[in-house]
Amino acid sequence: MLSTTPRTTLGRSKERGSTDRDDLYEVLDTGLICHLGVVVDGHPMVVPTGYGRVGDTLYLHGSTGARSLRTGTGTDVCVTVTHLDGLVLARSIFHHSVNYRSAMIYGPARLVTDEDEREQGLRALAEQLAPGQWDYVRRPSRKELAATAVLALSLEEASVKIRRGGPVDEEEDYDLPVWAGVLPLVMSWGAPEPDSVLPEGIEAPVHILHRE
Amino acid sequence: MLSTTPRTTLGRSKERGSTDRDDLYEVLDTGLICHLGVVVDGHPMVVPTGYGRVGDTLYLHGSTGARSLRTGTGTDVCVTVTHLDGLVLARSIFHHSVNYRSAMIYGPARLVTDEDEREQGLRALAEQLAPGQWDYVRRPSRKELAATAVLALSLEEASVKIRRGGPVDEEEDYDLPVWAGVLPLVMSWGAPEPDSVLPEGIEAPVHILHRE
């Protein structure tokens, strides 16, 4: 079960809220980037960035010099992951909507200092974006590790919203001679584009060529 | 030209920053949703939501009861629009990256009260997600308009970041027998799915059927 705190209890559209922890994992595990919200000098700042999950911990990373990460450490952050699945085209403008799956996680970001946990977090971050690459390419050197800040965020306080299905129209609008339904949005991987200086004979590995 | 204020001046990866206003328009006009950041009781909150642009004004909307919009009115918000274009697969984990285009807009959100501007904003919001629908379906009634809050955000303070192209590796890593390049991420529209109660004989209009 997901937590219910004042900010994870949906004020509106309660039927779209999910309290199933598996839904949270599904939204997070199938995403590629998140939007990280921090407060800088009292003002909000929303930055797109990578993430990875290990159990009930979300890992974020960045340069040790990045403003958004410096500010976020120890202070409250909000991480939002959104999948846009399609447009819901109704018979009236007012009832237009989108099908989506989104997760919001709130909490203090903890700077990870333990070397094992840092490596675990970085591996999760890499595997989230590009599964298979951690074991395929050169791993981080000591110097590279030192230049990378790893932050951990507990999944304790989280909410999930999901909308699926067709439009819901006003009763009297169903008679309008207007097409209504869903226009699905599909994300897919294109053909891998080799680096211009890649030597001949090096083929893309299966985990890239046949990524789902 | 885009503004340069402390928070729109990039602290890092300056070569990825763009100060071209046309880049800002391109990122915004080709997006579908944004992530709206607000500060609630001192804590950040990041909500995915729709938007529309008219000139140098961005419009957001929501129910008059929505918490994120209530909080945002008159106070500072941050709106971020991100396009993820592909994965940059390098010869080392450290140099893995993503190709993306993102825009961040900062400023106070103004509650729109003028009826003409409210309609203009709502039309821009609808056209952003589903171009052609405003003139095709039933427009908002007086009651529906009253239930919708429209917010305006100036594009005065904005920053754009764009990364394109292949990986940049450490000199000594170019000799590794490792594939490197870009895995493009492609978004496309699926076939329209008619509402289950749609009467026979109503075909999807061209602007939905052949949406680019």
CB pairs under 8 A between A and B: 288
User: Which residues face A6 on adjacent strands?
Assistant: none
Tell if the CB–CB gap between B183 and A130 is shorter than 8 Å. Answer: yes
Tell if the CB–CB gap between B139 and A93 is shorter than 8 Å. Answer: yes
Q: A25 CA to chain B: closest CA distance, Å?
A: 18
Q: Least CB-CB distance to A193: which of B102, B177, B182?
A: B182
Chain B interface test: which of A8, A100, A129, A137 (most B C-beta within 10 Å):
A137
Contact B91/B178 with Cβ under 8 angstroms?
A: yes
Tell if the CB–CB gap between A173 and B138 is shorter than 8 Å. Answer: yes
Round to whole Å and give the CA distance between B1 and B119. Answer: 29
pLDDT digits (tens, 9 = 90+) for B64-97: 656 656 655 567 999 999 999 999 999 999 999 9
pLDDT digits (tens, 9 = 90+) for A24-42: 999 999 999 999 999 998 8
- Nearest residue of A to residue B83 by CA position? A48
Segment A197-208 shows an average pLDDT of: 95
CATH says B14-169+181-209 is which class?
mainly beta
pLDDT digits (tens, 9 = 90+) for A79-124: 999 999 999 999 999 999 999 999 999 999 999 999 999 999 999 9
Round to whole Å and give the CA distance between B6 and A179. Answer: 48
Per-residue pLDDT, A71: 59
- Residues of chain B neighbouring A193 (CB-CB closer than 8 A): 166, 181-184
Strands A43-49 and A34-40 turn out to be antiparallel
Q: Least CB-CB distance to A94: which of B144, B183, B204?
A: B144
Round to whole Å and give the CA distance between A90 and A130. Answer: 37
Rounded to whole angstroms, what are the CA distances from B68 to A70, A121, A122, B59, B198? 25, 31, 32, 15, 35
Contact B105/B61 with Cβ under 8 angstroms?
A: no
- Residues of chain B neighbouring A168 (CB-CB closer than 8 A): none
The rounded mean pLDDT for chain A is 91
Phi, psi of A104 (to 5 degrees): -125, 130
CATH says A14-171+180-209 is which class?
mainly beta
